[in-house]
Structure 1
Amino acid sequence: MTHVLLIRLAGPLQSWGTASRFPARRDSHSRPTKSAVIGMCAAALGLPRTMGLKQPDSRADDKDQAKLTVLGELARSLFGVRADHPGVPVRDYHTVGAGTYPLRPRDLITDHRRAAAVTASLDAATGDRFGHHTLTGWYGAPKKIATDPHSGVLVSGELARSALITERWYLADATFLVGLQHDDEALLQSVARALEHPQHLLWLGRKSCPPSGTLALKTVPGDLNTTFHNHRLLPGPDGTADPARKPWAWLQATPSQHGATSVQDQPVSFDALQPEHTTRWEVRSRVTISPNALDWEDIIP
């Protein structure tokens, strides 16, 4: 018999990516991806990001084998999303780097190149305080870190940085009901406990988007389709939900199922440097909430 773990994903901002990590335009998917949700569950359980989903190494110890088994079972679960409150797309015009760099005394002590560049400003300074000295166009996150041959300290090999301008999209005030269907009820219950007491920080797609309120709602017997029909809409940001509305839902399917479309979010590896995903299939449909649908209790907004 299968069971479904219901997860509430809500917050001021969410952003679910399905494309490149660092393009000039960072779009947000219209809904949470399976890879992101499985990654969130793995983080809550304390599983390391370097752990892949491929066949475990025969040399791995029993503890690592057990972790691989849990992660593999999570990835094998069927995934569904119901958009109770789809949210509103918002755009962030984001700039990083360039501009004027205010210097501190340690910047001159540890990097002779900066000291040489502001020699005139330092010579003109008066008084017993360090004063205000700036460099134009040298501001930016350190890149190409290496040991400086003159001072022996670690310095950036790339001082001048052009402004990096990106366009980033988010979903504002969205609330999603996510379901993970699996035949191992104990596994789903362990994930539910971990989501409420996570071992690592959790976020809704990006680190700037923390979740709000209750995450793990309940574990119920049945399948995704029935479960979505038998539970009322989650309250929105204002604490209400229109009982007559028919939300969209996306349920994991087989490639041969009528209306199935592909999405590239089936996780293979969560390695930060080389994440891997493969194709998954899903169908979209409107959900008619049952007149006898179950209400939600004890949800922290």
Structure 2
Amino acid sequence: MSTLLLRLAGPMQAWGSGSRFTRRSTDDTPTKSGVVGLLAAARGLRRTDPLEDLLDLRFGVRVDQPGTVERDFQTARAADGGRAYPLTHRYYLADAVFVAALEGDDGLVAGLAEAVRHPVFPLYLGRRAFPPSGPVALGVREDGVWEALHAEPWHAAPWYRRRQGPSVHLEVRVDAAAIPTELERAGSLRTMNQSDEPVSFDPSRREWGVRTVCTVTTTVSNQDGRPRAGWHDPMALVGGA
């Protein structure tokens, strides 16, 4: 088994597991259905095609830069101008950066990595109007989801790093099945159920299942961070002399 790592970063992204009607919300982290949909697009699958082996992938995500939630609204009329459609409120994440991990069979993961580097359909971050700001594929790791997310370097933007302290706590959310046994026994995990397990993207019968997600934090050092509060360098003013 191996793990594909993806960098999900852009000016805007939205991952809604509960969007309905005129209110289109976003979760605070990428959903499994959204990322599997991205992989399906990279492979050239259409919405009516079966997902097959993509459903067996173990999934995890690390919050490298949480971003901020913003709200927009849209109005629309029929092409002939005779009918107005309801006002819709759309929420999205601005300036967020995530590292997503998908674990599966070596051959499958290698094929997905190649597909993401050379996608058949354009890749977007939850909505068609939200393209990624750079290459998505970070490569394939020999570790599982948990280990790969903890070993991967921090991918936050330089301006965000400068606003943080010398050490930063990153939230990690992983499928319960991908959690190491020893960590599970330690009892330090927070768990929740999330309705974003993809079953079918067919517009006539979209289906999602429920998965159990475990949340923990990991700490990274930040060489660009601000000194700790109260720290004073008595030579700072004469350092250039």
| TM-score (ref. length: structure 1) | 0.65
Q: What's the counterpart of residue 51 of structure 1?
A: 49
> Aligned partners of 2:47, 2:192: CA distance in 1, in Å?
28
Matched with 2:97 is: 175
Contact 2:168 2:221 in 1 (8 A): no
Counterpart residue number, 1:205: 126
Give the counterpart letter for 2:67 in structure 1.
Answer: G
Greater radius of gyration (CA): 1
SS at match of 2:107: helix
The reply on whether 1:185 has 2:106 as its aligned counterpart is: yes
Instruction: Using the TM superposition, give the Cα deviation of residue 239 of structure 1 relative to its aligned residue in structure 2, in angstroms.
Output: 7.8
SS in structure 1 at match of 2:219: coil
**Which runs of structure 2 are paired with 1:228-247 in the superposition (5 Å)?**
228-236=149-157, 238=159, 240=161, 244-247=167-170
Please tell me whether the aligned partners of residues 125 and 131 of structure 2 are also in contact (alpha carbons under 8 angstroms).
Answer: yes
Aligned equivalents of 2:195, 2:75: Cα separation in 1 = 29
Corresponding position of 2:212: 281
Residues 40-79 of structure 1: pairs in structure 2 closer than 5 A = 40-52=38-50, 71-79=51-59
Percent identity for Structure 1 against Structure 2:
38
* Post-superposition offset of 1:73: 2.0
Could you report, residue by residue, the CA deviation over 1:56-112 in whole angstroms, capped at 9, with x for unpaired residues? Answer: xxxxxxxxxxxxxxx322211110000100111111022222xxxxxxxxxxxxxxx
Aligned equivalents of 1:227, 1:11: Cα separation in 2: 22
- Separation in 1, partners of 2:11, 2:23: 21
In the alignment of these two chains, the number of paired residues is 210
Question: How much has 1:43 moved relative to structure 2?
Answer: 0.8
1:217-272 Cα shifts (integer Å, max 9, x gaps): 01111122222221221032748575621111100015xx6632111111110112
Asked whether the equivalents of residues 174 and 236 of structure 1 are also in contact (C-alpha less than 8 Å), the reply is no
Q: Distance in 1 between matches of 2:60 and 2:66?
A: 15
Question: How big is the alpha-carbon RMSD for the aligned residues of Structure 1 and Structure 2?
Answer: 2.2
CA distance in 2, matches of 1:289, 1:3: 23
- Aligned counterpart, 1:104: none
Q: C-alpha separation between the residues in 1 aligned to 2:32 and 2:16?
A: 11
SS at structure 2 position matched to 1:260: strand
**2:17 is the counterpart of 1:96:** no
| 2:227 alignment counterpart | none
Q: Which has the higher strand share?
A: 2
